[in-house]
Structure 1
Amino acid sequence: MGFIRAYLRVSTVGQDVMRAKEEIAEFAKSYHQQVASFYFEKFTGTSLNRPELSRLLAEASAGDIILIESVDRISRLKNDDWIALKNTIESKGISIVALDLPTSHIALKQVDTGDEFVKSVLRAVNGMLIDILAATARKDYDLRRKRTLEGIAKAQAERPDAYQGRKRNQVLWDSIGKLLRTSHTYTAIQQITGASRMTIAAVAKELKHETNTLKENHRLCAAAQ
């Protein structure tokens, strides 16, 4: 067995990543193992391109283990993206162990029975269960998103003047604006602020609009002189 690499993903700043770190460390310890490295990510699980997950895959080698709380921490991906990620993991000879998937725990046991048939069956069963859990995580995401959109539509229809959505975090927007003006990348801004790419894109769009408006005003003033 190679190194154990713990991947901890949260989608919001409020989620407790340190609690997950302690739980994963204790789990590894229960198998007399130690986590070699932790990868912390504040990013949606619906995106295949995640900085810390990409770094983990780049640093991992054959025999290593990706240790996660649950399969939805590594994937809420659409089927094609999940297949691409799984193929990358399998091609590198890496195993996935999830705390909530007991069949995957066998990878943490150093005892080798030498029975290749048993090991092959366990790998096949574990792979199938991970596929099912990944599909379930995506379905759960799609269902919650659908219900949220339906709830918004209903609220807007009933009281269009009352439903304004989530209030803007102006401090966060100002911070993102400053980072964008100093040529920070979206990935760097995410790591610094914990904001989503959607929020960063919204701030960038607003800044662009303000810049274009300012240029147009200057042009009109110059023409009037």
Structure 2
Amino acid sequence: MGQLVGYARVSSTGQSLDVQLEALKDAGCEKIFSEKMSGRSTEGRDQLAEALDYLREGDTLIVTRLDRLARSVGDLFTILDKLTAKNVGFRCLSQSAVDTTTSSGRLMLGVLGAVAAFEADIRKERQMEGIAKAKAEGRYKGRPVAIDREKVRLLLAEGVGPAEVARRLQIGRASVYRAMEAREGLGAS
């Protein structure tokens, strides 16, 4: 049997990891990774990355609650796919049915994934219906234009470089180049 490895996370520096750390130790975790970082994405969560790298075949990653590991079902399944590829199990202490080391736990995760995909599909259908209705009523204008191409053109005409134009207008350089291409495309016709 492999090693039990814990992962604990709180969202802000004012919150305490103590309750999670104690629960993970009580669950038998020999190694625990912890951090104080927003869980909105896996980006910047260095301890999570280290934990995923540390885990070896036969190990099991344990968290106290699912929201400590992932903020969305999509993120959860991305992480679980990485664990599965390494033959690493996963257990959640507060949702004991979520345990990839058992067949019923894998079934539960499959059901969760199917429900999440269904909800996402319904949400997208409702959004598209709302857009279609708003368009039919003439209320849908689309995304507002974020870049004043005339200002970009004037600054470029003054000899200001693209990077400086981007800085002054607080837009990305790629947007300046797109505006330049659009201008050149208009001038060519």
Within 5 Å, which residues of 2 pair with 1:89-168?
89-104=83-98, 107=101, 119=102, 121-128=103-110, 131=113
Within 5 Å, which residues of 2 pair with 1:1-225?
1-26=1-26, 28=27, 34-49=28-43, 50-77=45-72, 79=74, 81-104=75-98, 107=101, 119=102, 121-128=103-110, 131=113
Post-superposition CA distance 1:167-218 (Å, at most 9, x none): xxxxxxxxxxxxxxxxxxxxxxxxxxxxxxxxxxxxxxxxxxxxxxxxxxxx
SS in 2 for 1:55: helix
C-alpha separation between the residues in 2 aligned to 1:106 and 1:124?
5
> Against the structure 1 CA distance between its residues 132 and 52, is the aligned structure 2 distance closer, same or farther, given a 3 Å change threshold?
farther
> Against the structure 1 CA distance between its residues 101 and 66, is the aligned structure 2 distance closer, same or farther, given a 3 Å change threshold?
same
Instruction: Work out the percentage of aligned pairs sharing the same amino acid.
Output: 22
Measure how far apart 1:106 and its partner are.
Answer: 8.4
SS in 1 for 2:62: strand
> Against the structure 1 CA distance between its residues 78 and 128, is the aligned structure 2 distance closer, same or farther, given a 3 Å change threshold?
closer
More helix by share: 1
Residue 122 of structure 1 aligns to which amino acid in structure 2?
S
C-alpha separation between the residues in 2 aligned to 1:87 and 1:8?
19
Q: Does the CA contact (< 8 Å) of 1:71 and 1:130 recur in 2?
A: no
SS in 2 for 1:102: coil
- Tell me: higher relative CO, structure 1 or 2? Use CA pairs within 8 A at least 6 residues apart: 1
Q: TM-score, normalised by structure 2?
A: 0.53
C-alpha separation between the residues in 1 aligned to 2:113 and 2:69?
12
1:203 corresponds in structure 2 to none
Q: 5+ unaligned residues in a row in structure 2: which ranges?
A: 121-189
Which has the higher Rg, Structure 1 or Structure 2? 2
1:116 corresponds in structure 2 to none
Residue 18 of structure 1 aligns to which amino acid in structure 2?
D
Residue 96 of structure 1 aligns to which amino acid in structure 2?
F
Structure 1 stretches of 4+ with a deviation exceeding 3 A read: 104-107, 129-133
> Against the structure 1 CA distance between its residues 74 and 132, is the aligned structure 2 distance closer, same or farther, given a 3 Å change threshold?
farther
C-alpha separation between the residues in 1 aligned to 2:111 and 2:14?
30
The number of aligned residues is: 118
- Alpha-carbon RMSD: 2.9
SS in 1 for 2:47: helix
C-alpha separation between the residues in 2 aligned to 1:132 and 1:74?
19
Measure how far apart 1:56 and its partner are.
Answer: 0.6
Measure how far apart 1:77 and its partner are.
Answer: 3.6
